[in-house]
Structure 1
């Protein structure tokens, strides 16, 4: 299913759902674990929707493993992102208002691999992140994680 991210775009469709999502900035020194999404070809952080019966931490670990092949340990909180100007439109008609909990993590095992949600999985040096086709939301989250500021809340 395809998706389009809109940020502060007057042509964006109106949101019709709100789903708790978890994304993880997995760091290895100066490198960030990134995936190239299979639904829109853009680069993103591993993550996805939290399921009933699981914690935020469990969702972060599960989503990272599913999309990258790596096991991770959650190490901190980057922020809570809920800006109603950011909506994500899916092919099936769902339009989500952003609600993402962004965490930091470190790899503890596994092997890099792609999945049905990721066509590429790479450790990207921080200085190369600007070269990637990534959403503004992804760029902001990585920047907040790398600067180590207090958790961001919007």
Structure 2
């Protein structure tokens, strides 16, 4: 058996009212909340994947600001190990209301509202990334060295 980890990206977007952009989506038969996130496609630069996923899942064009970290999670539902490259971003403009087919809706939640909904979060990484962002965790984007660009 070959071990195949999954490379994913996620984007933490906070508005001026201190709310965070989340998507409501279907995942393994459950309705969950997640950051705009998804898999890095073959030959795609990691930074480009983060911008693309934010647009496809929320309709928002975003500008990446910082790298928050690389988070590892082994999902109990399927046993897959995910490597999540998480970024902070600024919402630039709403470009479309047409979203990926597995997205039900987008929402803006405060940190407290998300803590109250922990059972709905797709994984513990959703809250962890936001809490790290709120604690001031920031790295420059150029720590990502990607030969795809």
Q: TM-score when scaled to structure 2?
A: 0.78
Q: CA deviation at 1:50?
A: 0.6
Name 2:109's counterpart in structure 1: 124
1: CA distance, partners of 2:111 / 2:127 = 11
1: CA distance, partners of 2:39 / 2:57 = 13
Equivalence map 1:1-154=2 (5 Å): 16-29=3-16, 30-39=18-27, 40-83=30-73, 86-87=74-75, 89=77, 95-111=79-95, 113=97, 114-132=99-117, 133-134=120-121, 135-149=123-137
Q: CA deviation at 1:121?
A: 0.4
The answer to whether the 8 A contact 2:64-2:89 is kept is: yes
Q: CA deviation at 1:126?
A: 2.2
2: CA distance, partners of 1:37 / 1:16 = 27
Q: Which runs of 4+ in 1 moved over 4 A?
A: none
The Cα RMSD (Å) is 2.2
Three-state SS of the structure 2 residue aligned to 1:140 is helix
Q: CA deviation at 1:115?
A: 3.1
Q: Which structure is higher in helix share?
A: 2
Q: 1:17 to 1:61 in 2, by over 3 A?
A: same
1: CA distance, partners of 2:7 / 2:82 = 8
**Structure 2: segments with no counterpart, 5+ residues:** 140-149
1: CA distance, partners of 2:90 / 2:110 = 15
